Amino acid sequence: MGGRSPENYESDGEDRSAVLKGQHVQRSKPIFWYWPNASDGTNWAYAAVRSGPWKLLRDASGDRIELYDVAEDRAERNNLAAENPEKVEALRERLSEWLSELPERPNPDCFSNLRER
């Protein structure tokens, strides 16, 4: 309470409150994920982006890429990256741009003083 956003701050979120009222809401912005510590064989994905029905996952090096149409393949069993190189490139660019905007580490001022006890 009482916090203020920095000057010139623009939220990258969307109002989803209509969903709580049972209304269907279509996202207009992509959604991103970041798992910097994922590295074992099962949890290989480092980052992901979803835009519309498309979800692209990549590993930390960017060498492994998978693309899914999650509207048709909710279980993400059919990797469509090879059949959709233009979609892969567009989503890879968006994801790389977003990753480049992330800070190297959290701002220490965002943690409670209670953590130091």
Instruction: Using the predicted structure, report yes or no on whether residue 56 has a pLDDT greater than 90.
Output: yes
Q: Which domain holds residue 94?
A: 43-104
- Number of compact structural domains in the chain: 1
pLDDT at 109: 75
What's the pTM?
0.76
**Tens digits of per-residue pLDDT, 58-75?**
998 999 999 999 999 999
Q: Confirm whether 20 is domain-assigned.
A: no
Task: Assign residue 93 the CATH number of its domain.
Answer: 3.30.1120.10
Q: Confirm whether 32 is domain-assigned.
A: no
Question: What angle (nearest 5°) sits at the alpha carbon of residue 62, between those of residues 56 and 65?
Answer: 35
Q: Confirm whether 60 is domain-assigned.
A: yes
Instruction: Using the predicted structure, report yes or no on whether residue 1 has a pLDDT greater than 60.
Output: no
Amino acid sitting at position 99: L
Mean pLDDT value across residues 12-19: 82
